[in-house]
Amino acid sequence: ATAKMDPAQTTPLSIRTEPLGGPEIPGTPYSVAVLKEGYCHPQPDGSTRADGTITLLSGPTVVLVDTGGPWDRDLLLGRLAERGLGPGDVGWVVCTHGHSDHVGNLSLFPGATLVVGFDICQGDRYLCTELAQRRPHAIDEHVAIVPTPGHTGSDVSVLVRGTSLGVVLVAGDLFERHAGEDGWREVSENPELQERSRREVLEVADVIIPGHGAPFRVYREPQRCSDELDSEDTSRPNHTGAA
């Protein structure tokens, strides 16, 4: 089965975002929780301290999205244990791309279906997928892996439908921190492609969990065209300047 993101809109949209205000999004059958919020801090010597967000989907299948760096091993195990889970309870581990602060703890989950970018495997068996052709891969009817390349050539995000806040997108580094940022271009392999991916998901997601910052809400409003604005102007009593 495939799951469609359906980003196409016939009316141009105006996008507004605001912080979500918390790490938990309840829902049925899936709830979403940020186990660790990622960060990215430039240093005076030109280096950067960074770690990726770790997100858990709890439902019919337990899905972990990104695993943090190897230095997060104990933290990750502890956060899972707080929810009564061990590595063997995780059915899917989706790494949005192959950077070390996102894939650093894959070895904790040898029994899970593993996803790194466009590759999906169960043990040493690699599964057929059309992610490279920009087609989603459904985990079930509520959760899908969607291709969102640009930051790297094979980035993916995880789309969750049916939460209390609507559609949640766990986006990895498609969004570093928030929708209005500019710094993502500096670390993008293909900024033009990433810009396209960002526009597509902003037309679908109600909440986005970025790779190195706090979750945020997305609000969409139809843009008023210039003809509508001109019509409003001409209907005003003093539009011509007459007394």
* Tens-digit pLDDT profile for residues 198-209: 999 999 999 999
What was the pLDDT predicted at 242? Answer: 37
List the domain boundaries for the chain: 13-222
* Strands 166-172 and 125-126, bridge-based pairing: unpaired
CATH class of 13-222: alpha beta
Q: What is the 3-state secondary structure (H, E, C) of 144-169?
A: EEEECCCCCCCCEEEEEEEECCEEEE
Give every CB contact of residue 116 below 8 A, 6+ residues apart in sequence. Answer: 95, 97, 98, 103, 106
pLDDT of residue 187: 84
Q: In the prediction, which pLDDT does 233 show?
A: 53
Q: Is 17 helix (H, G, I), strand (E, B) or coil?
A: strand
Q: Low-confidence residues of the chain, pLDDT below 70?
A: 1-11, 179-182, 224-243
pLDDT at 154: 96
SS3 100: helix
- pLDDT at position 3 is 44
pLDDT at res. 5: 56
